[in-house]
């Protein structure tokens, strides 16, 4: 049986467990590791429930002073040490980050330990034993905060700071359309509980390494392009650019926002090769042209205003051609009509 839970029901479920494993999606961004590590701090430090977080890779160096301990390895046999898996901020089964010998697609179906899936993405298809999907929420960290606020446990400053980080990064410091009045109310609750706004802002927006700044300058000077009547701005990042500046996209959460700053554009895309596939990030600046459906049509996912795709068996020119075709159809849906 797969059951949809309310926030209060999810809180009761969590508080009824003794040992919880917290997972999120691959290539975790600020909301992914912020929601996960914040929940660990809350459950373990505030509620006395043993909990651990597994992250497949370390967050960007700029965040190291904010985060706590987490597991870097996870095996199938270790799953029996827990009585619940809490999955945060992951929209699809194949993006669940877990150990190499664990099949992520079957994790939501486990009876021991069962899974609680907490997410804010439209179209979430994890379908775990228990599911709390709240598309109105700006971030998984917002839902995590709302869960905590329904309990008798007091949110400590560490948990509040990590959840603030998740909300700040997923709303672009409250610049994006997913920022609703309740987002600001939840943020105020976190500040009241000691969330360190200055540390979060400095880590997120004012701690860019010099090599990243140099990388971004060359990306904008040499690789960004405009198309579709200058309404579509995009860039392909060649491997040589990563090598030249010793830059890893693990640290590149805000790179796409540089393209989004250009006036009069409506759709933004950034893509690069990772191993045998291409990673594509999409953003919309106009709610009349949502990119979520575009991404899902190509096997990706995400929100109407921000989504991503993984493309295989293509080269960079083929990816570029495909994106130009899809974005043209999105911006000019009647272009092929007689």
Taking only the tens place, the pLDDT of each residue in 37-93 is: 999 999 999 999 999 999 998 898 899 999 989 999 999 999 999 999 999 999 999
Domain at 210-331: CATH code? 3.10.310.30
Taking only the tens place, the pLDDT of each residue in 153-177 is: 999 999 999 999 999 999 999 998 8
Q: Over the chain, what HEC string results?
A: CCEECCHHHHHHHHHCCCEEEEECECCCCHHHHHHHHHHHHHHHHHCCCEEEEECCCCCCHHHCCCCCCCECCCCHHHHHHCCEEEEECCCCHHHECCCCCCCCCCHHHCCCCCEEEEECCCCCCCCCCEEEECCCCCCHHHHHHHHHHCCCCCCCHHHHHHHHHHHHHHHCCCCCCCCCHHHHHHHHHHHHCCCCHHHHHHHHHCCCCHHHHHHHHHHHHHCEEEECCCCEEEEEECHHHHHHHCCCHHHCCCHHHHHHCCCCCCEEEEEEEECCEEEEEEEECCCCCCCHHHHHHCCCEECCCEEEEEEECCCHHHHHHHHHHHHHHHHCCCCCCC
Evaluate the omega torsion of the peptide bond into residue 235 and state whether it is cis, within 30 degrees of 0.
no
Taking only the tens place, the pLDDT of each residue in 72-82 is: 999 999 999 99
Instruction: Sketch the domain layout of the chain as residue ranges.
Output: 3-205, 210-331
Q: 146 pLDDT band (50/70/90 cuts)?
A: very high
pLDDT at 301 > cutoff 90: no
Taking only the tens place, the pLDDT of each residue in 195-205 is: 999 999 999 99
Q: 337 pLDDT band (50/70/90 cuts)?
A: low
Domain at 3-205: CATH code? 3.90.1640.10
Mean pLDDT to the nearest integer, 236-244: 97
Average pLDDT taken over every residue of the chain: 94
Distances (CA, A) of 82 to 37, 79, 138: 17, 6, 29
Q: 252 pLDDT band (50/70/90 cuts)?
A: confident
Domains 3-205 and 210-331 share a fold: no
Answer whether 174's CB lies under 8 Å from 138's CB: no
pLDDT at 112 > cutoff 70: yes
pLDDT at 117 > cutoff 90: yes
- The reported pTM is 0.90
């Amino acid at each position: 049986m797969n059951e949809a839970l309310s926030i209060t029901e999810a809180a009761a479920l969590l508080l009824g467990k003794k040992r919880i494993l917290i997972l999120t999606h691959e290539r975790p961004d600020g909301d992914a590791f912020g929601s996960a590590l914040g929940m660990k701090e809350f459950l373990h430090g505030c509620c006395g429930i043993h909990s651990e977080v597994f992250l497949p890779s370390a967050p960007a160096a700029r965040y190291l002073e904010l985060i706590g301990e987490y597991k870097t390895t996870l095996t199938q046999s270790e799953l029996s040490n827990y009585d619940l898996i809490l999955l945060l901020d992951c929209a699809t089964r194949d993006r669940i980050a877990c150990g190499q010998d664990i099949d992520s697609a079957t994790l939501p179906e486990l009876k021991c330990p069962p899974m609680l899936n907490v997410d804010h993405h439209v179209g979430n298809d994890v379908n775990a034993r228990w599911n709390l999907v709240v598309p109105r929420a700006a971030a998984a960290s917002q839902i995590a905060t709302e869960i905590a606020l329904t309990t008798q446990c007091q949110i400590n400053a560490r948990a509040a700071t990590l959840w603030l980080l998740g909300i700040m990064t997923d709303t672009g410091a409250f610049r994006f359309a997913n920022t609703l009045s309740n987002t600001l109310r939840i943020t105020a609750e976190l500040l009241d509980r000691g969330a360190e706004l200055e540390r979060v802002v400095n880590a997120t927006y004012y701690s860019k390494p010099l090599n990243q700044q140099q990388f971004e300058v060359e990306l904008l000077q040499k690789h960004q392009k405009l198309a579709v009547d200058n309404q579509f701005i995009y860039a392909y990042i060649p491997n040589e650019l990563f090598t030249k500046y010793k830059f890893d996209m693990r640290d590149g959460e805000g790179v796409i926002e540089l393209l989004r700053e250009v006036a009069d554009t409506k759709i933004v895309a950034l893509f690069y090769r990772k191993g045998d596939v291409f990673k594509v990030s999409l953003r919309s600046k106009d709610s009349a042209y949502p990119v979520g459906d575009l991404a899902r049509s190509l096997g990706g996912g995400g929100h109407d205003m921000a989504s991503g795709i993984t493309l295989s068996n293509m080269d960079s020119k083929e990816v570029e051609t495909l994106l130009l075709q899809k974005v043209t159809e999105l911006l000019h849906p009647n272009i092929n009509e007689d």
